[in-house]
Chains A and B, each alone.
Chain A
Amino acid sequence: MSSDAPVDDALADEGGAGDAPGDAETDARACAYTEYDEGDAPEDVPATGAGASGVERRVWDELYQVDDPEMPVSVVDLGLIYGVGVEDGEATVDMTLTYTGCPARDMLLGEVESAAANAEGVEDTSVRLVWSPEWSVEMVTPEGRERLREFGLSL
C-alpha cells in the first residue's frame, strides 16, 4: 500500500494549477492536494472468513498471520483477500493488491500461498491474482483501520 501513497502526495504537490511561474521556488507550502477519493466498497469483497468452518476456517486463520510487508496489518484486514474456497483438499485464494506496481507482489503471493498450504487438511493451493473490483481504502476492515491508526496513519 505504502509504495504509492507518499509519492502520490509528492506528485499532487506538483499541483499548483494556476500558480504563477516560480511560486514553487519561493513559496514553500504544505501539500495542497485535498481532494481524496476513497472509492466505494463493493458488497461482496473483501472477504474476511466470517462464518467459515472446517478446513476453510483454518485457511483463514493462516491468512490472518500474513502481514503487509510495510505495515502491521494482515492481508485480510487490509482487504486484499477476495475469496477462499476449499474443495477436496485444494485451497483456492482470490486476492488483489493495492497497487498494480506493487514491488512486493511476488513476495505476497508466495506468502499467501505458503500460508494456505500450512492449514491442516490442505493438500494443494492456488492463488489467483484478480484486479476487479478495484481495491480502495474502503475495503480495510474495522480491525485493520484500528491497527493502521495505531501505526500512525489517518484513516
Chain B
Amino acid sequence: MTALDPDDLSGDERTAVEHLLYRLADDELVLAERYTEWQVTAPTLESDLALANIAQDELGHARLWYDLLQDLGYSESELIYERDPGEFRHATLAEVPFEEGDWADAVVRGYLYDVAENCRLEALENSAHPRIANRVSKVRGEEEYHREHARNWLERLAGDEDGRRRLQTALDRLFPHALTLFEPTDETVEDDIVGMGIRRRGLDDLREEWLATVEPFLESVGLRLPMDPDDPADRLPDAVGRDRSHTDDWFDLHDEMTHTYRELGRTETTRIMDKPTDE
C-alpha cells in the first residue's frame, strides 16, 4: 500500500491533490448533513430509513477522502470543526436548504448528485495516486443503491400530475446548483488535476457524461432540464461553492454542524477509545 506521502508530492501536485480531495469530501459531508434533516419527517418509515442510510454512506465516504487529507498532516478538527466555513469547496447543490417539506426536492437532489458522483468516481479509478484509486470501488459498490432509490422515487412521484409538477419545480430550482458540481476550484489547479493524472477526465467531459445520463432519464418520466442545450453552463448560480463562494445558507448550516463542538469547548474530536500506544 502506497501512502499518500506529502514528501513525495511537489508543491503544485500537493495543491492539486488537496483541491480534488476537498471537492470530494466536502460534497459528501455537507450533503449528508442536509439529508439528516429528513430524519423522522420523511413521508414513510422506509423512506426515512433509506435516506438516513444514504446519509450514513455519504459520511463514510467523506471520511475516506478526509483520511487522505489527514495523511497530508491535517487533523479532523482542522478539516471540519475548526475550518472556516468560507474555506469549504463543496458544490452549492449540497448546501441549499430543502424546500420546506418537499420530498421531491430530496429525490431530485439525490438523483442529480448520485449520477454525478458515479461519473467522477469512475474517472478516479485509474488515478495516478493508488491511495485515491484503491478506495473507489468500495465507494462505488455502496452507491448503486442510491441511484436505484432515486430513480424509483422519481418514477413513483412522476406517476401523477401533482407529483410531476413538484419534481419539475424542484428540478428548476436545483439544476443550476447541480451544475456547480462541475465547476473548477481554480482553473490552473484544475488543469493540474487532469494533467498530473490525479483525475483522468476533465470537468466538461464529466458534465457531458452526466447530462447524457440524467437528461434522457428525466425526460422519460416527463421532466425537462431547464437549460440551454448549446451552453449547459449558462444557468450557473452566483455562488458556485467550488471556488469557496457560498450562499448564506451554508454559513447557517456550518454554524449548526459545529455548534456542539464549540459549546463544549472542544479542541479535538471525540475518540471512542485510546490507542494502546497512548497509554
Residues on A facing B (Cβ under 8 Å): 3-4, 7-8, 10-21, 24, 39, 94, 99-103, 105-107, 110, 113-114, 117, 124-125, 128-135
Contacts and interface: CB of A to CB of B under 8 A. Distances in A.
A14 B153 contact: yes
Contacts of B149: 11, 14
B224 to A, nearest CB: 20
B111 to A, nearest CB: 13
Interface stretch (B132-140, B203-211, B242-250): B132-140
Given A100-B60, A100-B64, A131-B138, A110 B273 contact: yes
17 contacts: A4-B56, A10-B46, A13-B46, A15-B148, A21-B159, A21-B163, A24-B156, A39-B141, A100-B60, A100-B138, A100-B139, A101-B142, A103-B56, A107-B273, A117-B276, A132-B135, A132-B138
Interface residues of B, number: 45
Given A99-B60, A101-B57, A134-B141, A11 B273 contact: no
Contacts, number: 108
A134 B138 contact: yes
Interface of B: 1, 44-47, 49-50, 52-54, 56-61, 63-64, 67, 134-135, 137-139, 141-142, 145, 148-149, 151-153, 155-157, 159-160, 163, 271-277
Contacts of B64: 100, 131
Given A3-B56, A132-B134, A18 B155 contact: yes
A11 B142 contact: no
A12 B61 contact: no
Given A21-B156, A100-B138, 16 more contacts: A4-B56, A4-B57, A8-B53, A10-B49, A20-B159, A21-B159, A100-B57, A101-B61, A105-B63, A106-B272, A110-B276, A117-B276, A130-B1, A131-B135, A132-B137, A132-B138
A12 B60 contact: no
